[in-house]
Amino acid sequence: MARIYPFRAWRYNPSTVRLDDVVTQPYDKISPAMQQAYYQRSPYNLVRIILGLPELFDAEEGENVYTRAARDFRAWRQQGVLVKEKEPCVFAYAQRFTAPGTGIVKERRGFIALGRLHDYSEQVVFRHEQTLSKPRTDRLNLLRATRAHYGQIFMLYSDPARAVERILYDGGGAADAEVTDEYGVQHRLWRISDPPTINLLTTAMADKKLIIADGHHRYETALHYAKTYAGNGTAKAEHSVMQLPQPPYPEAAAMMTFVNMDSDGLVILPTHRVVHSLQVFDSATFAKSAEEFFVVSALPAANAEGYLQTLQNQSGPAFVAVMRNEPLLLRSKPEVAAATLANVPERQRQLDLRHLHSLVLDRLLGLDAEKVSEQTNIRYLRDAGEAMEQVHRGEADITFLTKPVAMEQLKEVAFAGEVMPQKSTDFYPKLLSGLTIYALD
């Protein structure tokens, strides 16, 4: 089943830089404004490696964002900006945050370690959503150039008794690192190098199956990269000397954060769909054609929070369509959906996003699976207000506000070996990039 390993992480040197100035949100959650802010924060901010600005490299000299990232990563290690742990470690990682829209303070506890990369067919690691082609190519180029993992893949495991958490969190000791991000989330890290504790942890995780919560693109990229190196690498002797588990070769594992899916610290937010640049779009025509599959109701003017509350009050698949004139509530007709989606498993027919992608995006708007995968006419946004504003500013034709996927739905779909549409879940908060780095060389 799941195989985890301690590792000698590269970490930012606190005597050289402030952690607050150099860590970032995951690469795919960094807006252009955030990218600029990170650049200004420090010359050693990780954004310069994971999401570099194209205009800052010299193309005439054969440089690109990936070669420059490799150059910076090498230089920061040589300069002592990044330092390597003396011993293989795992890291307890706790995030304290206020759940959006509730005011409730929660804490999500997990741990950072290396995780063995498994093909999905082995039924050890399960995905829950489709991936997009562009991010996979981008992350593979970065991995090839720098040969390092900078952010953790977010993995879920089931542990109702919380045995793993008791091993990691004994209630004592100040955190080895602490930082509060731009969303007010407090991140704390404890270094664990004690071999008996690590061996207890690896044993406790040995019977677990894993679901990718966040990081599908990075997981599939790392898995592809590992397959190209299978059998060519050599294990690191330092682990075996300490009688600690180690991957068969460096590329066979990636850096992951493991979180108990039975914890109440898990929060899933919806990701809204913004459709733009359609060759032809008429709101009245759309509203009329939608009646084939949905009960269509006009909604009074409201803010994003009001529309999201309306959705929460719906028992079946539903979403709000925001156009330049009046917004609409679309509620699936059960008998029509059952017939139209007859080839879709019952558990998938319960998903709002399956109805949205199969019936609206594909059938009504002509955005087939290829166009959705290539993001030709679609953007994904967490911020419902911004998703609506893009329509009102004329930057989009129509926005669909959605409900969040429930954890039970995710588990059922993933363990059945099925996948939801792209960007179905948005786990909050995100795992910071740059807290630990796994270098393959």
Question: What pLDDT is stored for residue 303 in this prediction?
Answer: 93
Region 31-43 average pLDDT: 95
Question: What pLDDT is stored for residue 60 in this prediction?
Answer: 61
Question: What pLDDT is stored for residue 238 in this prediction?
Answer: 47
Q: Is 404 helix (H, G, I), strand (E, B) or coil?
A: coil
Of the pLDDT bands very low, low, confident and very high (cuts 50, 70, 90), residue 43 is very high
Q: What is the mean pLDDT of the chain?
A: 92
Higher pLDDT, 421 or 297: 297
Question: What pLDDT is stored for residue 239 in this prediction?
Answer: 47
Nearest to 391 by CA among 337, 318, 433, 328: 328
Token pair recorded at residue 248: 């068969």
Q: Which residues contact 440 (CB under 8 A, 6 or more apart)?
A: 147, 148, 250, 251
103-117 pLDDT per residue, tens: 899 999 999 999 999
Question: What pLDDT is stored for residue 171 in this prediction?
Answer: 64
Pairing of strands 105-116, 90-98: antiparallel
pLDDT higher than 70, residue 409: yes
pLDDT higher than 80, residue 235: no
pTM of this prediction? 0.89
Pairing of strands 210-214, 125-126: parallel
Percentage with pLDDT > 90 across the chain: 78
Question: What pLDDT is stored for residue 241 in this prediction?
Answer: 45
Q: Give φ, ψ of 224 to 5 degrees.
A: -60, -45
Token pair recorded at residue 82: 């990044």
Q: Is 411 helix (H, G, I), strand (E, B) or coil?
A: helix
pLDDT higher than 60, residue 363: yes
Where is mean pLDDT largest: 74-78, 241-245, 261-265, 375-379?
74-78
Token pair recorded at residue 162: 């919380």
Distances, alpha carbon 402 to alpha carbons 122, 145, 283, 357, in Å: 33, 38, 19, 12
Question: What pLDDT is stored for residue 101 in this prediction?
Answer: 79
Residues 152 and 3: their CA atoms lie apart, in Å, by 16
pLDDT higher than 80, residue 233: no
Are 243 and 352 in contact, with CB atoms under 8 Å apart? no
One-letter amino acid of 138:
D
pLDDT higher than 60, residue 35: yes
Sign of CA dihedral 343, 219, 53, 68: negative
Residues 351 and 403: their CA atoms lie apart, in Å, by 10
Region 130-145 average pLDDT: 86
> Can you state the angle between helices 65-79 and 133-146, rounded to 10 degrees?
40
Q: Which residues contact 172 (CB under 8 A, 6 or more apart)?
A: none
pLDDT higher than 80, residue 131: no
Residues 152 and 70: their CA atoms lie apart, in Å, by 19
- Within 13 Å, how many C-alpha atoms sit on residue 80's CB side? 3
- Quote the distance between the C-alpha of residue 61 and its chain's center: 34
Nearest to 112 by CA among 436, 328, 393: 436
Residues 339 and 257: their CA atoms lie apart, in Å, by 41
Residues 49 and 32: their CA atoms lie apart, in Å, by 15
169-221 pLDDT per residue, tens: 876 689 999 999 999 999 999 999 999 999 999 999 999 999 999 999 999 99
Region 153-158 average pLDDT: 97
- Of the ranges 68-77, 228-237, 396-405, 408-417, which one carries the lowest mean pLDDT score? 228-237
Go through the domains of the chain in sequence order and give each one's CATH number. Answer: 4-12+86-267+429-439 (3.90.1530.10), 271-403 (3.30.1760)
Question: What pLDDT is stored for residue 371 in this prediction?
Answer: 84
pLDDT higher than 80, residue 433: yes
Of the pLDDT bands very low, low, confident and very high (cuts 50, 70, 90), residue 148 is very high
pLDDT higher than 50, residue 237: no
Q: Give φ, ψ of 85 to 5 degrees.
A: -60, 140
